[in-house]
């Protein structure tokens, strides 16, 4: 039995295809049986590119994880830019918080990339032309949109996941996104952390969930890659 905790085996490779070891370890830890492993290998052989500029996330659990990886790529790139070019008047406390959020999102991205291994979709092209990074209101509005959309995407895709380890990982990430969402909302308008724009039905007190087909049009404006999830429900 391989030692699953040898750190050097999990260092992210520069290439888009991390070592075979990463994928194998992840599957072993997840307790995936031979059937599931076969399914994953099969999906690894599937082309993610339909043409030069279209990326489909794939199907099943790998499809959901790639969908998450795509959203984390977007959030990570956004916050990297926010911290690299702070808006005018960004307070030290805000810079600290945005740096922390950036690190969380970059870590989510790097973790999913390592976990997916050869099954990972390629790096997506981003276009933040609609965001004015010099303006606090523009940045906070975009951050709120990314976080609320991210929460709704994880909430709406959870049921598609069939492996309990993967579901657990999605759960570990989504509540951190919800913490971010509430924090950003409080920066924009104090006490709007869970207002009626996200908890739409006050009689149930439930957050918003969205299907991939509802999320993709929201994020398309920030992508130069044509991201599809044609094999997810």
Partner 1 sequence: MNIFSIIEEIEKVDPEFQDRISPRRDAIKNITSFGSKVAVAALPFALGALFKKAYGQTTVGDVNGTLNFALKLEYLEAAFYNTALNTPGLIPAADLAAFQTIAAHENAHVSFLKAVLGSAAVTQTSQGTAGVYDWTAGGTLPNYFATKDYTTFLIVANAFEDTGVRAYKGQAPFIIGNQTVLTAALNIHSVEARHASHIRTIRRKAGNGTTPKSWITGANDTGFAGIAANYAGEDNTMQGGVDVSALINPVTGAKFSASACTEAFDEPLTYAQVLPLVQPFGVK
Q: Does 22 participate in binding partner 1 (rule CB under 8 A)?
A: yes
60: left (phi over 0), alpha (psi -120 to 50) or beta: left
Candidate residues 16, 29, 49, 53; the one interacting with partner 1 per rule CB under 8 A: 29
CB 54 within 8 A of CB 228: yes
Query: Measured between alpha carbons, how far is residue 72 from residues 80, 112, 113, 137 in Å?
Result: 12, 9, 10, 22
Residue 49: phi and psi, rounded to 5, are -95, 125
Q: How far apart are CA 5 and CA 53, in angstroms?
A: 37
Stretch 161-180 residues interacting with partner 1 (CB under 8 A):
161-162, 164-169, 171-180
123-143 exposure pattern, b = at least 16 Cβ within 10 A, e = fewer: ebebebeebebeebeebbebb
- Give residue for tokens 């996941």: 161
Cβ distance to partner 1 smaller for residue 44 or 182: 182
Stretch that binds partner 1, among 47-55, 131-139, 207-215, 223-231 (CB under 8 A): 207-215
- Cβ at position 162, least distance to partner 1 in Å: 6
Q: Which is nearer to partner 1, 112 or 131 (CB)?
A: 112
Q: Is residue 114 close enough to count as binding partner 1 by CB under 8 A?
A: yes
Can residue 54 be called a binding residue for partner 1 (CB under 8 A)?
no
Considering beta carbons, is residue 31 or 221 the nearer one to partner 1?
31
Residues that bind partner 1 (CB under 8 A): 4-5, 7-8, 10-12, 22, 25-26, 28-30, 80, 93, 96-97, 100, 102-104, 106-108, 110-111, 114-115, 151, 154-156, 158-159, 161-162, 164-169, 171-183, 186, 191, 193-195, 198-199, 202-209
């Amino acid at each position: 039995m391989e030692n699953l905790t040898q750190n050097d085996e999990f260092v992210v490779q520069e290439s888009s295809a991390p070592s075979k070891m990463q994928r194998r370890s992840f599957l072993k830890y997840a307790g995936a049986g031979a059937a599931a492993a076969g399914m994953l290998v099969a999906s690894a052989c599937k082309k993610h590119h339909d043409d030069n500029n279209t990326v489909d996330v794939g199907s099943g659990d790998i499809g959901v994880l790639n969908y998450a990886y795509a959203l984390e790529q977007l959030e990570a790139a956004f916050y990297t830019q926010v911290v690299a070019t702070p808006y005018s008047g960004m307070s030290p406390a805000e810079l600290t918080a945005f740096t922390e959020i950036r690190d969380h999102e970059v870590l989510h991205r790097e973790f999913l990339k390592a976990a997916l291994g050869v099954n990972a979709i390629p790096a997506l092209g981003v276009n933040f032309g609609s965001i004015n990074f010099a303006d606090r209101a523009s940045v906070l509005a975009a951050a709120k949109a990314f976080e609320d959309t991210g929460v709704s995407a994880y909430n709406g895709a959870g049921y598609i996941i069939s492996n309990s380890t993967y579901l657990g990982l999605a759960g570990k990430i989504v509540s951190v996104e919800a913490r971010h969402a509430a924090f950003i909302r409080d920066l924009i308008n104090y006490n709007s952390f869970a207002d009626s724009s996200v908890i739409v039905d006050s009689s149930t007190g439930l957050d918003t969930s969205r299907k991939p087909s509802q999320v993709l049009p929201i994020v398309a404006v920030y992508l130069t890659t044509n991201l599809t999830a044609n094999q997810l429900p």
